[in-house]
Amino acid sequence: MNQGTTWASQEVSFKEFLIKNKKNRTTLWFVAIAIVIQFGIFKYFYPYASYIHGDSFSYLNAASKNLAINTYMVGYSNFLRLLSVLTKSDIFLTAFQYLLIHFGALCMLFSIYYFYSPSRVLQYLLLTFMTFNPLFLHLANLVSSDCIFTALSLVWFTSLLWIIHKPSTKIIVWHTVLLFVVFTIRYNALIYPFLSIAAFTLSPLHLHKRLIGAVASLLFCGLFIGYTSFKYKKLTGYWQYSPFSGWQLTNNAMYAYRYVDSLKRKPVKKEFVAFDNMLRAYFDSTRDTQKFPIEAVKASTYYMWSPGLPMFKYRDSLFNNNKKASELKKWASMGPFYKSYGLYIIRQYPLHFMENFIWPNSLKYYAPPVEFLENYNSGKDSVAPIAKEWFDYSSRKVVTRFKNKQTITLDFYPIFSGIINAIMFFLLIFYSMLKGWKNAPMLQKGVLLGTTIWVLNAFFTIFASSAALRFQSFPITLTTMFTCLLLDWLWKSALKPDVLQLNFENKDLTIAQ
């Protein structure tokens, strides 16, 4: 690494910054070697890929049938299908995912070094965090969209940094492609086009180029939404982009509805009566949480994925006379109904919803549970037939060289995430009070963009999604990065000999350095 606190001047190109700078080049070689060694050791202990029993096999099924729509977004299934052209090896898949997430992390990391020139201590700290992050290993070993989504989100965010600091036509094109691809992988990307528009608003580009970039972002995402909605229209008769959101809304509402006193429940609309009666009967029969411990859990996704519970039972009752309907058709057909019902219940009992879903989900967002990453292969010793066939395993049995399947290396993450979120919050307050944009103007746009992503992701996760470590891997990585940058800014500000003035209760508070 370079001496001093500055790695590079923007007078040199990014390519020169990476390749022609000897210390940066040496650092990249060190990181590459460390990554390869880590992966080799990891695969010795975990020779097979890990699976979420449900999600993973759904992705593989969609890939094998080349489905245009599925319970989950089809981007990852298309990725699996593309890789299968080269090889059936699950080691190749996990290695590719691992290299891609590190590529994304390094793209973001060195772009931040290039634009913001953080102190050398911070450079080492962030490089160590990214290079030896155990989360990347476990995400990469999982047959799920989480790793690819995180990796491409990191590269996409890097493109936003270039848009606000050093834009070009090539950057706009790459950004549009990245946004479209990541938009097809996870519903969390629904907020990304708005963040891209925010970046173009901050960009020094001429107005017409900013408009072109923003319109291209909306256009390609809009085309995918239109195509997906058309496919669901053909399948179910309903024009909808995401049946998943309907199921999610009723699931979330049920966690509030469960705690409404039976004597205080309000009558529902006629079209909801049958399902509502089924729900009320279920809640009344499962009051004993000793006997039904899952009912003590708040803000989860249990209701929307359990075949024996009311959401699936009601769905199946509507298709009793249509035995030929596929699982996808039955599931997707219920999206509009569950969306309407979920919103109706939330509006009827907003305080119950805030207390029994929003607040518990806020705590989960603050310190996301390890969830399916807690145990290798969801704690099981075998996989579904589709996985055996897809990866050409000799049997359905998968093994690990550890005595048990628990992955303790990620246990620190909920606490770490909580600490990082809290520090980020207070640092933003300090940044605002001290008018940090005045003594670090280059950092201003980056902080504004990072804060916008942090806030929007929090609202999306808390109000419309579920919080888990694998879902929050990109936001946690990004928040860690900006928390460190703000700490670096605060430290540099404290060392400056000049005087910072605060306007506090109409008085000048002077902090002498």
Query: Which string of DSSP letters, residue by residue, matches 336-391?
Result: HHHHHHHHHHHHH-HHHHIIIIIHHHHHHHHS---GGGGBGGGG-SB--HHHHHHT
Residue 430 covered by a domain: no
pLDDT at site 507: 42
Q: Is the pLDDT of residue 9 over 90?
A: no
More confident residue, 511 or 421: 421
pLDDT at site 511: 40
Residue 327 domain boundaries: 243-363
Residue 250 covered by a domain: yes
pLDDT at site 510: 41
pLDDT at site 436: 83
Q: Is the pLDDT of residue 6 over 90?
A: no
Give how far the C-alpha of residue 382 lies from the chain's centroid of Cα atoms, to the nearest Å: 27
Instruction: State pLDDT tens for residues 284-294.
Output: 999 999 899 99
User: CA–CA separation, 368 vs 375, rounded Å?
Assistant: 16
Query: Average pLDDT, whole number, for the chain?
Result: 92
User: CA–CA separation, 317 vs 420, rounded Å?
Assistant: 47
User: CA–CA separation, 304 vs 198, rounded Å?
Assistant: 34
Residue 402 covered by a domain: no
DSSP 8-state symbol, 295: G
Name the phi and psi angles at 382, rounded to 5: -145, 170
DSSP 161-229: HHHHHS--HHHHHHHHHHHHHHHTT-GGGGGHHHHHHHHHHH--S-HHHHHHHHHHHHHHHHHHHHHHH
Buried b (16+ CB within 10 A) or exposed e, 95-117: bbbbbbbbebbbbbbbbbbbbbb
Name the phi and psi angles at 50, rounded to 5: -105, 155
Rounded mean pLDDT of 52-59?
Answer: 95
Residue 120 covered by a domain: no
CB count within 10 Å of CB 194 equals: 12
Instruction: State pLDDT tens for residues 428-442.
Output: 999 999 888 877 788
Residue 358 covered by a domain: yes
pLDDT at site 498: 57
Instruction: State pLDDT tens for residues 15-45.
Output: 889 888 888 999 999 999 999 999 999 999 9
pLDDT at site 205: 95
Residue 289 covered by a domain: yes
> Residue 102 to residues 39, 48, 105, 132, 399: CA-CA distances in angstroms?
11, 20, 5, 10, 26
Taking phi first (over 0 means left), then psi (-120 to 50 degrees means alpha), and beta for anything else, what does residue 240 get?
Answer: beta
User: CA–CA separation, 189 vs 183, rounded Å?
Assistant: 5
Q: Is the pLDDT of residue 181 over 80?
A: yes
pLDDT at site 493: 81
pLDDT at site 497: 55
Instruction: State pLDDT tens for residues 448-479.
Output: 999 999 999 999 999 988 899 999 999 999 99
pLDDT at site 35: 98
Q: Is the pLDDT of residue 505 over 70?
A: no
The answer to whether 361 and 466 have CB atoms below 8 angstroms apart is yes
Stated pTM of the model: 0.92
Alpha-carbon radius of gyration of the chain: 25
The answer to whether 154 and 107 have CB atoms below 8 angstroms apart is yes
> How many domains is the chain built from?
1
More confident residue, 287 or 226: 226
340 Cβ partners below 8 Å, 6+ apart? 246, 271, 272
- Identity of residue 113: Y
User: CA–CA separation, 311 vs 276, rounded Å?
Assistant: 10
Dihedral angle, C-alpha 207, 209, 214, 218, nearest 10 °: 130
Residue 286 covered by a domain: yes
User: CA–CA separation, 438 vs 444, rounded Å?
Assistant: 8
User: CA–CA separation, 422 vs 454, rounded Å?
Assistant: 12
> Residue 212 to residues 160, 164, 218, 225, 470: CA-CA distances in angstroms?
15, 15, 10, 20, 34
DSSP 248-291: HHHHHHHHHHTTS-GGGPPP--GGGHHHHHHHHHHHHHT--TTT
Residue 119 covered by a domain: no
How are beta strands 507-511 and 500-504 bridged, if at all?
antiparallel
**Percent residues over pLDDT 90 in the chain:** 84
Six-digit token string for 85: 């052209």
